[in-house]
Structure 1
Amino acid sequence: MSRTRVKICGTTNLPDALLSAEAGADALGFIFAPISKRLVRAEVAREASLAVGPAVARIGVFLNQGLDEVLRLAEGGRMSAVQLHGPLAPEFVLAAAQFYPVLRVVRPADLQTEAQRWAGHPAVTLMLDAPEPGGGVPLDWAALQADFPAGAWLAAGLGPENVAEAMRLLRPAGVDAVSKLEASAGQKNPQAVKAFVDAVKGS
């Protein structure tokens, strides 16, 4: 069985990017959605991306933004993939997937439909998140066991204290955390980041 990958999201500065990479994160998330309190500038994301190097995936996070804006910011920030939130048409996701691997974020209510839609697509991977991402509230993992698709990623309220249980129940291909790894919005807690990565890799 392949190892569950670890994504640390909400990276807003170079020291936190280096911290997460050194802790063993497989991917860093950079949020370009203007409404986010963890918004990062493309030039900061670029500096962090160049510093951590190609061994760590750099994922640009977008919410209801136009394709030109997604591609411009992803290129400017030196992203290696994009994470798309919002009620997007499948055609939009497919268009983005021509340029970058896509993490398509879905809510529990849409999981089955979206899993059928993207099953087998080589450039689109599902990520299950809460209806209000970034709120730090876990999903009901036991209720999702029957429907959670192989190869999907999991977000929503994950932290060092609960990620092992989520992995045991759902066996996601990757896990994504942000709010439980912060000292304040946009500023990482080094101990929590390390504990999260260790919890995932030890499970």
Structure 2
Amino acid sequence: MPALRVKICGTTNLPDALLSLDAGADAIGLIFAPISKRLVSVETARQISVAVGPALGRVGVFLDQPLSEVLRTAERARVSAVQIHGPVSSLYLQTLERYYPVLRVVRPADLQQFSQATPGHTLMLDAPTPGSGKALDWQALRPVFPAGGWLAGGLGPENVAEAIRALHPAGVDAVSRLERSPGVKDPLRVRAFVQAARQAHHTLEYPINESYPQ
């Protein structure tokens, strides 16, 4: 089973980026959607990217933004991947995929229209309102959750293990439940989230055999 990827989204400053790195996360999310409470400037994002280097993935998060703006911002901020929210065309995605790995965000209501095998980009299932902190009904989504998909939406230290056991995602992404306030991380919750996700995935790889004599 491939290793689980853990992403801490909504990073707005270097100390929180370094916290995610030290906690064992694989990537952080740098949000460039103007409507977000966790909007980060391109200059700050670039400073973060330079500081953490290749040791930590930097995912630029965009919502309903023109392709030219996404490409320009991603290059200036030195992100290593992009995450796309909102409706976009096949040509938009195909062009973007020439330059970056792409996380394509979908909502539960739209999930059935996407193929289990999606060439060129990875699907991420998120809540209808990103950043709301409201968890999805993971059991109901089991029949349609895409193989190799990522999971977001209301995840935190207290429920990520349950979500992983239900859907076996390739990656998990959290933001609001890891914060003291929008854009400011809670170190204890960030560390607890990464640890809980790792432990749950390890259990999937090496399930406990309850019949084995103790």
TM-score scaled by length of structure 1: 0.96
Superposed, which structure 2 residues align to 1:119-198 within 5 Å?
119-121=117-119, 123-198=120-195
Larger Rg: 2
Structure 1 counterpart of 2:2: 2
Structure 2 counterpart of 1:75: 75
Aligned Cα RMSD in Å? Answer: 0.9
User: 1:120 deviation in Å?
Assistant: 4.3
Structure 2 counterpart of 1:17: 17
Structure 1 counterpart of 2:38: 38
- Are 1:158 and 1:176, in contact at CA under 8 Å, matched by a contact in 2? yes
1:47 aligns with 2:47: yes
The letter of the residue matching 1:108 is P
Identity %: 65
SS at match of 1:3: coil
In structure 2, stretches of 5+ residues that fail to align are: 201-214
C-alpha distance in 2 between matches for 1:48 and 1:196: 22
Give the count of matched residue pairs.
Answer: 200
1:19-71 deviations in whole A, cap 9, x for unaligned? 11110010100000000010000111111111112021110000000011101
SS at match of 1:196: helix
C-alpha distance in 2 between matches for 1:120 and 1:83: 15
SS at match of 1:93: helix
The letter of the residue matching 1:101 is P
Which stretch shows the higher mean deviation, 107-116 or 73-82? 107-116
Structure 1 counterpart of 2:96: 96
Structure 1 counterpart of 2:57: 57
In structure 1, stretches of 5+ residues that fail to align are: none
User: 1:95 deviation in Å?
Assistant: 1.4
SS at match of 1:36: coil
User: 1:115 deviation in Å?
Assistant: 2.8
C-alpha distance in 1 between matches for 2:7 and 2:173: 5
TM-score scaled by length of structure 2: 0.91
C-alpha distance in 2 between matches for 1:115 and 1:84: 17
The letter of the residue matching 1:200 is A
- Are 1:42 and 1:77, in contact at CA under 8 Å, matched by a contact in 2? yes
